[in-house]
Structure 1
Amino acid sequence: MKDLPLTVRRSIELLGLVLLGSLLVIGNDIIMPIIMAFFISIVLLPVFRFLKKHKFPEVLAIVLPILLLAIILAGIVWFFSSQVSLLVADFPQIKNNINSHLMALSDWVSSISHYSTKEQVDFINKNTNELVGFAGKRASGAAVTLSSLFVFVGLLPIYIYLMLFYKDIILRFIFMWFQPDHHDKVKEAIYESEVIIKSYLVGLLIQVTYMTVLLGGTLLIIGIKHALLIGVIFAFLNLIPYVGALLGNIIGVLITITSSTELWPVVTVLAVIAGVQFLDNNILMPRIVGSKVKINALFAILGVIIGGNVAGVSGMFLSMPIIAVLKVIFDRTDMFKQWGVLLGDARPQRSPMQFAAFRKKKGVVNKPGVEH
């Protein structure tokens, strides 16, 4: 490959990216559960090794961590559903609050425009059919997504079990893919990828816990209704880099507006979310994750958007660890090192345009009587 011209190598790289992207788009229903299972199996590896070290049978050493994970997820689902049930129980009051907000909004629109309340109602009724049709299409799409989710969750424990059971075969395949003189770099990349994935996913689990406690607990003490539900929704949406925090703020405000007719709870929720987010981004999360691999914000956002378009929520969630692992691999290969630089956040001390290799050479002055 190194003997090929540079333009040919770059063309092969770009073609490989296109083929990889096409493969992810076409087979995302198959590939995403495998990637998710791979990451989770790496997180469960320390528990598996601990049980094996204490003479547990291999099958039991694999099944017990999976059961522990299932119990934790079941507890999260139970907590979330209990908070949603409290919100559902308040629907009559929520309906009255929404009517109050709509009346206030209607009066404000009438005061700044020539549209009367009757004209506003007629406009809403005229667009109701379109809204219902759109909601029906989204509901049918949600039903398909829900069925895919059940398949996803059903296959996940099977994949995790098989990956832990056959991990030595997978490792042997990876080493056989490379020349023996590259095995030291391969081993280093595997170890670093394992550390990055474990620290990232375990850190996210810890982040969800303390974000729910900090945000939900603070709002609960202040007296905001459905404080714990706002806390848990924001904590999970915050797992999606950059985009999730914005969605969490919007949903928190909507829940607060529907639960109260006053303005101060909305301002309080936004202020508390801002404070908790500042604490999370600048103090807590950097200490918990402590990853040596830094991804620049541009490709973090692009990864989230592309992952969401390719595989929905799971793609958005997995985008960051996938990019981090790719950067580890790129940094250790001469052929793809430039891609590792592109994904990273290590800015050069000065513009590459000022490097000697990029500066335009001065023209050669011809001496009289000398031909060049």
Structure 2
Amino acid sequence: MNNLPLTVKRSIELLGLVLLVGIFVIGNDIIMPIIMAFFISIVLLPVFRFLKGHKVPEALAIVLPILLLVIILGGIVWFFSAQVGLLVADFPQIKNNVAIHVKALSDWVSTISSYSTTEQMEFINKNTNELISFAGKRASGAALTLSSLFVFVGLLPIYIYLMLFYKDIILRFIFMWFTPDHHPKVKEAIYETETIIKSYLVGLLIQVTYMTVLLGLILMVIGIKHALLIGVIFAFLNLIPYVGALIGNIIGVLLTLTSSTELWPVVTVLCVIAGVQFLDNNILMPRIVGSKVKINALFAILGVIIGGNIAGVSGMFLSMPIIAVLKVIFDRTDIFKQWGVLLGDERPQRSPMTFPAFRKKGKVTTRPGVDKA
């Protein structure tokens, strides 16, 4: 491939990119559980090695970490279900609070426009009927999505077990793709990929825990109703870069509005969320996850949006570790190094338009205040 003209190389790269996206779009129901299982198996790998090192049979050394993972996930589901149950129990009060807020909003609209309360109610009723009709049409699609979710969750333990059991075969397959003189780089990339994925996913688990506890306890002390539910919802949505935090804020405001007839709790919730998120983004998370690979914000957001369109929530969640792994691979291959530069946030100290040294593929000095990958 090194002997091919530059235009042919770039055409092959773009064609490969289109084919890769096409494969994900067509086969996301098959591919996404495999990728998720791959990432989880890497997280469980240290536990597997520890048990195997203590003479535990290989099959049992694989099953025990998977059971531990199932117990942790079961505890999370139980906690979330309990909080939702408390919310459902308050439904009569929520209905009254919503009616009060709707009336206040209607009165405000009447003061700034010519629409009367009657006209507003007619508009709301009309759109409510259309929304119900739309929901009915989507019911079959929702059932299909739910069945796909059960298949996804059901396949995960099987995939994780098989990946841990056959990991040496997979590694041998990877090495056989390359010539022996490239094996040191391949080995280095494998170790770095393992480190990045473990740091990222374990860091996310720690992040969900401390954000739920910290945000929930602060709101509870202040006197906000359903504080723990707001905390756990925001903590999980915050796993989705950039987009999740915005959705979490909106849901937090809606939950607060439905549980109170005043506006001060809404302002309080937004301020507490902003404070906790600032602490998380600037102090806690960088120390937990570290800065092994830095992805620039543009491609982080694009990755989340593209992942969401291809595979829904799982695609949004997996977009960042997938991009991080791709960057590790690109940085270690001469023909794809420019793609690694595009994904990273190592901004050159000078403009490549005026300084030819910054147009090359070698290492460049970055601007002050920017971490190196």
* TM-score (structure 1 length as normaliser): 0.95
C-alpha separation in 2, matches of 1:275 and 1:265:
15
Residue of structure 2 in register with 1:362 after alignment: none
Partner amino acid, structure 2, of 1:8: V
Q: Is residue 71 of structure 1 aligned with residue 71 of structure 2?
A: yes
> How many residues end up aligned between the 2 structures?
359
Partner amino acid, structure 1, of 2:268: T
Q: More deviation in 192-201 or 286-295?
A: 286-295
| Contact 1:196 1:291 (8 Å CA) reproduced | no
Partner amino acid, structure 1, of 2:343: L
Report Cα offsets for 1:148-204 as digits up to 9, x if no partner. 110000000000000000000000000000011000000000000000000000000
Residue of structure 2 in register with 1:56 after alignment: 56
Q: Which runs of 4+ in 1 moved over 4 A?
A: none
Residue of structure 1 in register with 2:210 after alignment: 210
C-alpha separation in 2, matches of 1:150 and 1:332:
38
C-alpha separation in 2, matches of 1:105 and 1:294:
44
Identity %: 88
Report Cα offsets for 1:40-89 as digits up to 9, x if no partner. 00000000000000000000000000000000000000000000000000
Instruction: Report 1:4-83 matches (<5 A).
Output: 4-83=4-83
Q: More deviation in 341-350 or 116-125?
A: 116-125
C-alpha separation in 2, matches of 1:358 and 1:279:
35
C-alpha separation in 1, matches of 2:72 and 2:358:
55
Q: Is residue 328 of structure 1 aligned with residue 328 of structure 2?
A: yes
Instruction: Report 1:218-367 matches (<5 A).
Output: 218-356=218-356
Once the 2 structures are TM-superposed, how far is the Cα of residue 126 of structure 1 from its aligned partner?
Answer: 2.4
Partner amino acid, structure 1, of 2:175: F
Once the 2 structures are TM-superposed, how far is the Cα of residue 113 of structure 1 from its aligned partner?
Answer: 1.4
Report Cα offsets for 1:236-271 as digits up to 9, x if no partner. 000000000000000000000000000110000000
Partner amino acid, structure 1, of 2:291: S
Report Cα offsets for 1:257-316 as digits up to 9, x if no partner. 000000110000000000000000000000000031100000000000000000000000
Residue of structure 2 in register with 1:363 after alignment: none
Partner amino acid, structure 2, of 1:49: R
Once the 2 structures are TM-superposed, how far is the Cα of residue 127 of structure 1 from its aligned partner?
Answer: 2.5
Change in 2 beyond 3 A, CA 1:358/1:31 = closer
C-alpha separation in 1, matches of 2:141 and 2:132:
14
Q: Is residue 99 of structure 1 aligned with residue 89 of structure 2?
A: no
| Contact 2:234 2:248 (8 Å CA) reproduced | yes
Residue of structure 2 in register with 1:369 after alignment: none
| Contact 1:199 1:291 (8 Å CA) reproduced | no
C-alpha separation in 2, matches of 1:127 and 1:32:
36
| Contact 1:216 1:228 (8 Å CA) reproduced | yes
C-alpha separation in 1, matches of 2:284 and 2:166:
36
C-alpha separation in 2, matches of 1:252 and 1:129:
26
Partner amino acid, structure 2, of 1:319: S
Partner amino acid, structure 2, of 1:127: N
Q: More deviation in 212-221 or 116-125?
A: 116-125
| Contact 1:106 1:120 (8 Å CA) reproduced | yes
C-alpha separation in 1, matches of 2:23 and 2:162:
23
Q: Over the residues paired in the alignment, what is the CA RMSD in angstroms?
A: 1.1
Partner amino acid, structure 1, of 2:69: L
| Contact 2:348 2:358 (8 Å CA) reproduced | no
Residue of structure 2 in register with 1:364 after alignment: none
C-alpha separation in 2, matches of 1:125 and 1:240:
34
Partner amino acid, structure 2, of 1:186: V
SS at match of 1:241: coil
The unaligned stretches of length 5 or more in structure 1 are 360-372
Once the 2 structures are TM-superposed, how far is the Cα of residue 22 of structure 1 from its aligned partner?
Answer: 0.3
SS at match of 2:353: helix
The unaligned stretches of length 5 or more in structure 2 are 360-373
